[in-house]
Structure 1
């Protein structure tokens, strides 16, 4: 079975970090999220992938390549213009298997794929929508289901007290190729607003299956920051590179140079080839990207730095997010979000 990752859009709500790169290539714990995603599905037995690309596709292709370094095979479906969720799937149809997985690649999640596949095989319908449960469904499209799990209808952003459930579309689907017979080619089509309602109405069979586990849309700087705190606290159990120190919750990459009197306040994640000046204080909740330089007496807390950032001596950062290759002067900064990204880990 193949997995199709929808990675063609830009993360407009995460700007300026994603001003010049696809949102799925935003770094999560010093690694592009799209790479985390591929590894997660690879661990569950998927080894053939199709990635739908549009904006800055060269960033994705140059980083992931043909997938051989991950023990996988990757093909690319290029959109000349944005085609929406269902349109992007239709555009990739010639590369897909008779049954395939579709993943909105900017959604942070971990899924038990075997459970979803067993459910899909048992009901025999055209599609299974993975569902996640939220406390307040009024900001999402909510599903109404029969006792068998068949989806009867979608209700867009209902009042909390009027919602038929707290289950929403998690952005992960198992689909049969026959479902694509109902998707017109060559134009933008929404799977949520057009395709699934049509498949429900014509009796093709659309079912929903709760996935449990971690789920988050990282589309705002607040959620992007929270995602990293969840990663550091291990509520989100994605792989963290580097060696964990005996003090726990302090991860150091390879070739990290630590000056005299440096204080780490966990949790902290430091990437490869980072240098930290004398008497700097790092943490709590600090992520420092590969190749970064932290000056003497700098203080860094509740902040995320992407690769190759330079923080001057004496600078104090709190609740800041800095993109690749940013230079931060000797200032006190609070809640800054800056970006100067030209490329993502091309080296």
Structure 2
């Protein structure tokens, strides 16, 4: 099925500071994931899978690298990528290798990204606008969500999922009535009263969203937080707009910290696999990764575990090298890393291109000092 009158908007402008040294040389959407792809590929693959014809990229930091990735792997392959104010320049062929793109206007929050790209988001041809994030990991067809949204004549439909109560404070907490109408959305509540969270992808009636953004922008810069979760959706709830929840029962993860990056990938190793290898995007390799028997590893097709090396419950990315005598447990070895003979990795990550020679346990070498992991 196709959704020709839906347009997607991909929020990809965050600095990714809580990802620590993993984003020293990469924008967060390009951080490698699942031994096969990059974070951004999940949302784009979901757009293409659902038959949504156009995705507008809302980027800001190191966006030339992100644009090059999307042009190479996604544009014209089931979805057209609209690069917003850069679209004409990108498609002209006039950009030279490494050339920096013109600066975009600054943004105080996700709602500013929508306002700054209004010309592209609210162009004719889309009845509904799907808002996505470039750091969420899930495989999903939005068609049932769109059908429910339109059947209910909702002004906005938000994805929701139940999680362990102790983690709710990290997300947007949602309170709904028996008919799934949203009564309250509280971003990162200090004392959660519900185990239902906002998955941060949502479907707006295009005209309604445009009007709400216009109303909020008219308040002035200091009167709101310029954020979809903190301003746009709460405003719509208060004003009596029809805001509905759509339960998401499959696997979904928001990769916001180094710790979650590590733990969520380890979840891919145990059956029933939340993300089957054959269903993963394959922008890093062109071929899916595979599980290796009883050791429960997820390994790129070009990686060999030599005799004398011991690897358990780990992910080995394309281009990494494991030498005989290395031992790796519950760890992630990213593209181009080398784990030398005698090295020991436990519950840790080898960074792209890193040469690991000693012993390492934990993630402190990657975590940002100013933003400790929750």
Q: Which TM-score band (shorter chain)?
A: 0.7 to 0.9
User: Does the C-alpha gap of structure 1 residues 68 and 158 become closer, same or farther in structure 2, counting only changes over 3 Å?
Assistant: closer
In structure 2, how many angstroms separate the alpha carbons of the residues matched to 1:243 and 1:182? Answer: 42
Aligned equivalent of 1:56, options 56, 62, 68: 62
Shift of 1:190: 0.7
* More helix by percentage: 2
Shift of 1:24: 2.3
Find the counterpart in structure 2 of residue 345 from structure 1: none
User: Does the C-alpha gap of structure 1 residues 85 and 289 become closer, same or farther in structure 2, counting only changes over 3 Å?
Assistant: same
Q: Which has the higher contact order (CA 8 A, sep 6+)?
A: 2
In structure 1, how many angstroms separate the alpha carbons of the residues matched to 2:246 and 2:289? Answer: 36
Secondary structure of 1:173's aligned partner: strand
Question: What is the count of residue pairs matched by the alignment?
Answer: 318
Aligned equivalent of 1:213, options 239, 243, 250: 250
Shift of 1:337: 5.6
In structure 1, how many angstroms separate the alpha carbons of the residues matched to 2:17 and 2:288? Answer: 34
User: Does the C-alpha gap of structure 1 residues 336 and 135 become closer, same or farther in structure 2, counting only changes over 3 Å?
Assistant: closer
1:14/1:219 contact within 8 Å kept: yes
Find the counterpart in structure 2 of residue 47 from structure 1: 53
Residue 333 (structure 1) aligned with residue 333 (structure 2): no
* More strand by percentage: 1
Find the counterpart in structure 1 of residue 274 from structure 2: 235
Question: Which whole-Å deviations, capped at 9, do the CAs of 1:10-55 have from their partners, x for residues lacking one?
Answer: 2222211123323222211121021132123312222321111001
Greater CA deviation, 149-158 or 287-296? 149-158
CA RMSD in angstroms comes to 2.5
2:29/2:66 contact within 8 Å kept: no
Shift of 1:80: 2.7
Which residues in structure 2 correspond to 1:134-283 (within 5 Å)?
Answer: 134-136=163-165, 137-156=168-187, 157=189, 159-160=191-192, 163=193, 165-178=194-207, 179-184=209-214, 189-233=226-270, 234-237=273-276, 239-240=279-280, 242=287, 249-250=291-292, 266-282=295-311
1:106/1:217 contact within 8 Å kept: yes
Q: Structure 2 length as normaliser, TM-score?
A: 0.77
Question: Which whole-Å deviations, capped at 9, do the CAs of 1:232-264 have from their partners, x for residues lacking one?
Answer: 22123463565777xxx31xxxxxxxxxxxxx7
Secondary structure of 1:144's aligned partner: strand
Shift of 1:171: 0.3
Greater CA deviation, 97-106 or 146-155? 146-155
Shift of 1:103: 0.8
Question: Which whole-Å deviations, capped at 9, do the CAs of 1:153-186 have from their partners, x for residues lacking one?
Answer: 22452635xx2x3211110010112222221469
In structure 2, how many angstroms separate the alpha carbons of the residues matched to 1:89 and 1:43? Answer: 24
Find the counterpart in structure 2 of residue 86 from structure 1: 111
Where structure 1 has 5 or more consecutive residues not aligned to the other structure, the ranges are 251-263, 340-347
In structure 2, how many angstroms separate the alpha carbons of the residues matched to 1:268 and 1:142? Answer: 34
4+ residue stretches of structure 1 with deviation over 4 A? Answer: 184-188, 240-245, 336-339
